[in-house]
């Protein structure tokens, strides 16, 4: 099952190791930098109160694949996770829009996502390679 996961870590290496340790295969990292719709979704989350950093941990966005039906939202470091199918379906409904209308529509997708408490502590042990 493919899903998008946005997590907090001190650096990209830690984020990748943490996902790998959970049995996930990273299909694409830095999704927010390569997919304009995903970038707009992150902007929408920021408008809802998503902080750039919590405890010096920035946000890293991935498309992952795994066989588990694990709810990554249970992990404190995970801001949000959702199925790839949901996002691709939502994008397809606004694909006909252009310019500002497209940006606003894809940003509004964040309204369907629940953010975690942005005042929480991100206390984690640095993951080790397995």
User: Got the DSSP string for 26-91?
Assistant: EEEE-HHHH-HHHHHHHHHHHHTT--SEETTEEEEEEEEE-S----GGGSTTEEEEEEHHHHHHHH
Q: What is the mean pLDDT of the chain?
A: 91
Please state, as a whole number, how many other Cβ atoms lie within 10 Å of the Cβ of residue 44.
21
Residues 6+ away with beta carbon under 8 Å from 23: 66, 67, 68
The pLDDT of residue 70 is 62
- Whether pLDDT at 10 is above 90: yes
Q: Measure Cα distances from 14 to 20, 53, 117 in Å.
A: 10, 15, 22
Return the structure tokens found at 111. 């309204």
pLDDT bracket for residue 130 (50, 70, 90) = low
Residues 6+ away with beta carbon under 8 Å from 34: 28
Cross-strand partners of 3: 64, 83
For the segment 67-96, the average pLDDT, to the nearest whole number, is 87
Give dist(CA 107, CA 1) in Å, integer.
24
């Amino acid at each position: 099952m493919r899903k998008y996961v946005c997590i907090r870590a001190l650096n990209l290496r830690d984020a990748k190791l943490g996902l790998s340790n959970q049995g996930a295969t990273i299909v694409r990292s830095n999704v927010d930098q390569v997919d304009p719709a995903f970038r707009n979704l992150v902007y929408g989350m920021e408008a809802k109160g998503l902080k750039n950093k919590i405890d010096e941990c920035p946000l890293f966005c991935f498309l992952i694949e795994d066989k588990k039906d694990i709810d990554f939202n249970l992990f404190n470091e995970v801001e949000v996770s959702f199925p790839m199918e949901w996002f691709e379906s939502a994008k397809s409904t606004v694909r006909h829009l252009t310019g500002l209308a497209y940006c606003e529509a894809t940003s509004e997708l964040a309204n369907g996502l629940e953010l975690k408490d942005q005042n929480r502590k991100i206390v984690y042990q640095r993951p080790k390679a397995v």
